[in-house]
Amino acid sequence: MQISRLVPRFRSFSISIFSIFALFVAANLNDTFFVPIAIAKTTVKRVSSVYLPADLPTSGDARIDEIIVRASDRFGVDPRLLHHVIWQESKYQTATKSHAGAQGLMQLMPATAVRFDCRNASDPESNVAAGTRYLRLLLERFEGDVSLALAAYNAGEGNVDKYAGIPPFSETQHYVKSITGRYGSKYHPLLTPEEARINFGLGEEIAQAN
């Protein structure tokens, strides 16, 4: 009689222990598997909001690539040329500073930075915008002649005028030869942003984003 009374109590006790254990396991599984997944989903973000042509060089940094394309669209300069200039100037290192005082991705001299409203030459976006504006001005001045524009970017407009062409400086001559060799063109069309968008294959996403 006493044994039969104890059996239901023992079963109830066993069920309670099993229920507590099951809840404990479920809680830990939830923490282990489900929470990180939820966090991972919330931290996923879009890397780039602009269209990048398939043949465009890359810096290896999506943000820098996007900055270059936006500057290209804004000032009508081929992003491929910008990539080659930036690679030659700084190898995409945003904090680079030369012994002469040139700074950032496009190695702006202090006077050039001031001239083109760049208040922080270490800021990639501001630096590339100012450098692209300057390069566009040089392309216009030298009627789309890439070699002369590059020579002026490296050695100064005055020296190109003085020597009526690429100055006889070994650094400048190497600079021009290196970039034009990679860029593969001696002439750069002088286009409006709308025309450049079509000519350089930038896509409508740029216009919508700007």
**Active site residues per annotation:** 89
Per-residue H/E/C for 88-138 = HHHCCCCCCECCCCCECCCCECHHHHHHCCCCCCCCHHHHHHHHHHHHHHH
* Spatial CB neighbours of 162, under 8 Å, sequence gap ≥ 6: none
Distance CA 67, CA 126 (A): 9
Region for residue 22 given its phi and psi (left: phi exceeds 0; alpha: psi -120 to 50; beta: otherwise): alpha
